[in-house]
Amino acid sequence: MSHVPWLAPSDGPDALPEPSHALDEPNGLLAIGGTLDPDWLLASYSNGIFPWYEEGDPILWWSPDPRAVLWPEDLRISRSLRRTLAKARFEVTADAAFDAVIDACAGPRRDDAATWITSDMAAAYKRLHALGWAHSFEAWQDGDLAGGLYGIRIGRMFFGESMFSRTTDASKVALAGAVPYLQSRGVALIDCQTPSEHLTSLGATNMPRTEFLTHLKRYREPTGSPGSWQQDFASFSSAAVSA
């Protein structure tokens, strides 16, 4: 920790170090402090950095190596998930229940009662959603929210943050609905942050940080204006069904 810079809120997001300065152990730790204001979050994601810390701790900023990414065309739909999709048990929406999705992602998990989505982080991403930068995808079953995911869209990048399921396959169904829509909006690469077996099963791969940053510089330029995707996704889904 002694080699990691401490940032004051007054320093501004430009004070975030280059990702190449991140520690090897713990992998990717780059800086401590700052704020979760929208300008900090947008600047950090645009430079391959994201916040991740536990309740009660100072804000920790990370840029791990390697980086888990998903090329949209590489999304892996398993046979069991195809059967679930064919049964049409779920309805998928976008930006219809952002607050509920992030609150569910922040809740206790069956395998781990801890959560990295602190109350301050949840509030910060809700502000980004209100500004049109953060988006959610929801899977509904019989009118109840069964699963979903959320993330941030900047340019042709979608930075996936977290997903949850209350019913088997619900979050995967949300992802299966999200990916073709993201492609339709020009998203070329989905950042999944840190590798895991679950992400690998969905088609994610590990990419060296230097390569990730090269793609990020190419894809982060703004395309279109931020705003809600709710109506646009509904139109996209209707067109896909009727096609």
Q: What is the mean pLDDT of residues 50-73?
A: 96
Q: In what order do the strands lie in the sheet with 144-154?
A: 91-94, 134-141, 144-154, 157-165, 189-193, 67-70, 205-207
| DSSP character string of 135-200 | EEEEEEETTEEEEEEEEEEETTEEEEEEEEESSTTHHHHHHHHHHHHHHHTT--EEEEES--HHHH
Question: Per-residue confidence at 3, pLDDT binned at 50, 70, 90?
Answer: confident
The answer on pLDDT for 143 being more than 90 is: yes
Residue pLDDT, tens place only, 19-42: 999 999 999 999 999 999 999 999
Q: Which band of pLDDT confidence, cut at 50, 70 and 90, is reported for residue 240?
A: confident
Q: What is the pLDDT of residue 225?
A: 79
Has residue 64 got a pLDDT over 50? yes
Give the pLDDT confidence of 203-238 residue by residue, as tens digits. 999 999 999 999 999 999 877 779 999 999 999 998
Give the domains, in start order, of the chain with CATH numbers.
6-64 (3.30.70.3550), 68-242 (3.40.630.70)
pLDDT digits (tens, 9 = 90+) for 81-127: 999 999 999 999 999 999 999 999 998 755 554 567 999 999 999 99
pLDDT confidence of 16, banded at 50, 70, 90? Answer: very high
Q: pLDDT digit string (tens) for 161-173?
A: 999 999 999 999 9
pLDDT of residue 113: 44
